[in-house]
Amino acid sequence: MNANHLVSARTVLNQYVHHLEPDGASFYVHCWGAMPNHYHTLVHKHSFFEICYVIKGNGYYLECGCQYPLKENTIFMSRPEILHQIKSETGLSILYVAFELNEDRSSAEWRKAHFKAFALGNGRRSKAQPGWI
């Protein structure tokens, strides 16, 4: 997959896909992204969920004092308000989407699942439960 294709796809998705409404849920998409040469992030957190997919490369995802290996075809999720960091000495090619549940337009079942995932993201979980999906 070439870097120009990733950037083009990211641009189109950010221009046209802001809401997703599958099966009783409504999601607001903050952004779609592609990072063809990603090395390190600072330790950070955000108010939304973020799902990342590793296209190629090797590195680590750090969260709650635990380090998880990243390699080709790894998918992982950062939850709201959890400090995390991505590190790679050799570089990673990553796709990601940042989103949150639109509670007003989602079913009670989805709101309950969102509350549970958000609560887990606020430190109410053990270190044995990383943000892998």
Is the residue at 131 inside a domain?
A: no
Domain that holds residue 55: 3-121
Is the residue at 129 inside a domain?
A: no
- Could you report the per-residue pLDDT of 80-132, keeping only the tens digit for each? 889 999 999 999 999 999 999 888 888 888 888 877 776 665 543 333 344 44
Is the residue at 128 inside a domain?
A: no
Of 98, 101, 79, residue with least CA distance to 23: 101
Q: What total of structural domains would you count in the chain? A: 1
For residues 9-13, give the mean pLDDT. Answer: 78
- pLDDT band per the 50, 70, 90 thresholds, residue 53: very high
Is the residue at 77 inside a domain?
A: yes
Q: What is the CATH number of the domain that holds 101?
A: 2.60.120.10
Asked whether the predicted pLDDT for residue 28 surpasses 90, the reply is yes
For residues 49-76, give the mean pLDDT. Answer: 95
Tokens of 122: 């606020």
Is the residue at 126 inside a domain?
A: no
